[in-house]
Structure 1
Amino acid sequence: MSLIDPAATAEHPADPLWLRLGGHGARLGKLLVSVFCTLLGLAALTFFIGRLLPIDPVVAVLGDNASQEAYQKMYRLLGLDKPLWQQFLLYLQHVARLDFGNALTTGRPVIEDIGRVFPATLELASLGAIIGTCLGIPAGVFSAMYRNTWFDHCIRFIGLLGHSAPNFWLGLMGLVLFYATLGWIGGPGRIDFIYEFDVKSVTGLYLVDTLLAGNWAALGNVFSHLILPASILGLSGLSYISRMTRSFMIEQLSQEYVITARVKGLSWARSVWVHAFRNVAVQVVTVVALSYAFLLEGAVLTETVFAWPGFGRYLTNAMLAGDMNAVVGCSLLIGSIFVGINLLCDLLYRIFDPRTRQEQS
């Protein structure tokens, strides 16, 4: 006996291959157009903000003592004598080639500076995200399981502390206690001077580079410098992830299928972790991804306190110096990171949530 209902097949015939491919192509085209419009809007925003700021780019390049002749020559060289729309098109041409000009603070191309400082921030934020995720998800789940108990109150207090206490204050207190008083960790910077020339830069990630070189002493020194600022960033991630996970799980634990599973004799832990958590996993992945993007972008104060030679510190120095080339390049990178994270979240939704695929089919 056939298990296929002929009536259902007649009502919903299988789509031909060319039609399915056309549907996927249309969705891909919409996605690419959306990404292009977002990046174009971001580029326009950074361009016009740069033009509205009370900073003369010619003076920023030549200084206050430049002659009028030199000023006019540089003014024309930068294209400032052209109409604003032509300046914007010229700006887009340079951005498409990843050419943001030279940084005034270093004299090198901005893209080279970003490539030099970004691995430090990537390493710091990645370890912070790992700490925040590995502690935040279980904390949120157990907080929902034991709602309104002492454990739940402790987790909520830690989350409140992570959101309320400024990172620069936590960093200073951590340095005073763990570095200056107890001597358990390394001080500011990424590595002690005696090990700095022993590390050959391959990836720019000191943990990876020292591990590849098999230099265990340098690896331990790098980790001792990294663990405190990463833990402070991880506390911020833990606060957000645990709070959102708790909220998602409380909603799921009140559903009838969890109550039915308990009535049928399924253990409380299995009901929570196997059934309830599976239904919020996609939402939790989205929260983790966005938290990681915020850590990459928001490590400015932490890097300043710990003298961390990363992306946030570079951007801060560029803003203080009025270096618009560096500021614009960094702003576009931050926006591109968020666009990429959102695309990744959308892809994960389609992979892990069958309902999304059914709605789009």
Structure 2
Amino acid sequence: MTGFILKRLASAVPSLFGVMVLTFVVSRAMPGDPAAFFAGPAATPESIARVRAQLGFDQPIVWQFLDYITDLLHGDLGLSFASGQPVLDDLMRRLPASMELTLLALVIALAVALPMGILAAVKPGTWIDHICRGSTTLAAALPSFFIGLLLIYVFYFRLGWAPSPIGRLEIWYSSPAEVTGFYTIDALLEGNFETFRAAAAQLVLPALSLSLFALAPLARMTRASMLGVLNAEFITTATALGLSRRTILINYALRNAMMPMINIIGMVFSFLLGANVLIEQVYGWPGIGSYAVEAVLISDYAAIQGFVVIMAVIYILLNLIIDITNTIIDPRVSHDA
């Protein structure tokens, strides 16, 4: 297993290097001059040139790239122009907020999509199947930011059931002592149930908005995988042996349908991290998505590059976890495949 993990990590190095090169080039090609932004609106050309020299942007692009790669090899993602803090510190401080939101959205989507997909596969062509497929198609057709705005309008503005969409906690609550970075878990570990309820309430609407983005692919893949397995010969044999329907569905069909479902869950989780950008803007969520948007608006090169590199590392690790999980679920999968 160790050799398999090392091989997977080694194969990801060229992809990661390509991401670094592409991000560096694209960030430099973006409109706007960060030196002019930080020099201020009343800055003279001389003061802008002085700021540009301080930031190192007066150097040839090749030297800038070599400096960037050298810093990365030392674990340095640079300093953010906006916050004045190391980009890695900014991202690590914001990453738990995005992960907490994304994981909850994925759990909600799975809790709805798996039963829907299984039910549609068990009763193909019936009205239940049509309702399941129709609802997932509708969920896929609606943009996540539109769903977010709609939920805010209905549950916060009209009904007053939801708290104000201003981040992870309303202003009169104090953040729990940081252990995991997840406010709900840290509040429980602290024994502060009031803060836990407040943090959970803030999570509900953004997580629901984001979960609808994942509902359609998860339900469709579950249905397709289960249909393929239910038509297999071993399911016919199990039925002929008189095993209960529940045993066949859970112990045989669902387990054999898990491999393609694990792959799609990993892909959906990656997509959710990307879709977080819009949801975090709508709900004022202080995650890495909103951090990236702010960096793009002011051409904060170091922050943009750091965000993309961190996301690429997360995707690589996620794919590695999926590969390992597949080998655990089905030992027939070769490590060298």
TM-score by length of 2: 0.91
Secondary structure, aligned partner of 2:333:
helix
Compared with structure 1, are the counterparts of its residues 198 and 163 closer, same or farther at alpha carbon in structure 2 (3 Å cutoff)?
Answer: closer
Secondary structure, aligned partner of 1:354:
coil
For 1:243, which of 220, 233, 246 is the aligned residue? 220
For 1:191, which of 155, 169, 173 is the aligned residue? 169
> Relative to structure 2, which stretch is displaced further, 267-276 or 57-66?
57-66
Q: Following TM superposition, by how much is the alpha carbon of 1:241 offset from its aligned partner in structure 2, in angstroms?
A: 0.9
For 2:273, which of 296, 303, 327 is the aligned residue? 296
Give the unaligned 5+ runs of structure 2.
Answer: none
Quote the residue 2:14 is aligned against.
Answer: 37
Q: Following TM superposition, by how much is the alpha carbon of 1:309 offset from its aligned partner in structure 2, in angstroms?
A: 1.6
Q: Following TM superposition, by how much is the alpha carbon of 1:128 offset from its aligned partner in structure 2, in angstroms?
A: 0.7
Residue 310 of structure 2 corresponds to residue 333 of structure 1? yes
Instruction: Output the CA distance in 2 between the equivalents of 1:143 and 1:92.
Output: 50
Q: What does residue range 265-344 of structure 1 map to in structure 2 within 5 Å? A: 265-344=242-321
Compared with structure 1, are the counterparts of its residues 242 and 48 closer, same or farther at alpha carbon in structure 2 (3 Å cutoff)?
Answer: same
Asked if 2 retains the 8 angstrom alpha-carbon contact of 1:60 and 1:323, the reply is no
Secondary structure, aligned partner of 1:355:
coil
For 2:209, which of 226, 232, 239 is the aligned residue? 232
Instruction: Output the CA distance in 1 between the equivalents of 2:212 and 2:135.
Output: 8
Instruction: Output the CA distance in 2 between the equivalents of 1:82 and 1:323.
Output: 17
Residue 71 of structure 2 corresponds to residue 99 of structure 1? no
Compared with structure 1, are the counterparts of its residues 257 and 119 closer, same or farther at alpha carbon in structure 2 (3 Å cutoff)?
Answer: same
Compared with structure 1, are the counterparts of its residues 282 and 74 closer, same or farther at alpha carbon in structure 2 (3 Å cutoff)?
Answer: same
Q: What does residue range 27-176 of structure 1 map to in structure 2 within 5 Å? A: 27=4, 30-63=7-40, 65-176=42-153
Report percent identity of matched pairs.
Answer: 34
Asked if 2 retains the 8 angstrom alpha-carbon contact of 1:110 and 1:329, the reply is yes
Q: What does residue range 200-219 of structure 1 map to in structure 2 within 5 Å? A: 200-219=177-196
Task: Give the residue type in structure 2 aligned to 1:209.
Answer: D
Alignment RMSD: 2.3
Q: Following TM superposition, by how much is the alpha carbon of 1:131 offset from its aligned partner in structure 2, in angstroms?
A: 0.9
Asked if 2 retains the 8 angstrom alpha-carbon contact of 1:100 and 1:109, the reply is yes
Instruction: Output the CA distance in 2 between the equivalents of 1:97 and 1:158.
Output: 49
Deviations 1:74-102 (CA, angstroms, capped at 9, x unpaired): 44444444443332221111122332332
Q: Following TM superposition, by how much is the alpha carbon of 1:111 offset from its aligned partner in structure 2, in angstroms?
A: 1.7
Give the 4+ runs in structure 1 shifted more than 6 A.
none
Q: Following TM superposition, by how much is the alpha carbon of 1:64 offset from its aligned partner in structure 2, in angstroms?
A: 5.2
Instruction: Output the CA distance in 1 between the equivalents of 2:330 and 2:85.
Output: 46
Q: Following TM superposition, by how much is the alpha carbon of 1:168 offset from its aligned partner in structure 2, in angstroms?
A: 1.8
Structure showing greater radius of gyration is 1
Asked if 1 retains the 8 angstrom alpha-carbon contact of 2:23 and 2:305, the reply is yes
Matched length: 336
Instruction: Output the CA distance in 2 between the equivalents of 1:296 and 1:230.
Output: 12
Instruction: Output the CA distance in 1 between the equivalents of 2:48 and 2:151.
Output: 49
TM-score by length of 1: 0.85
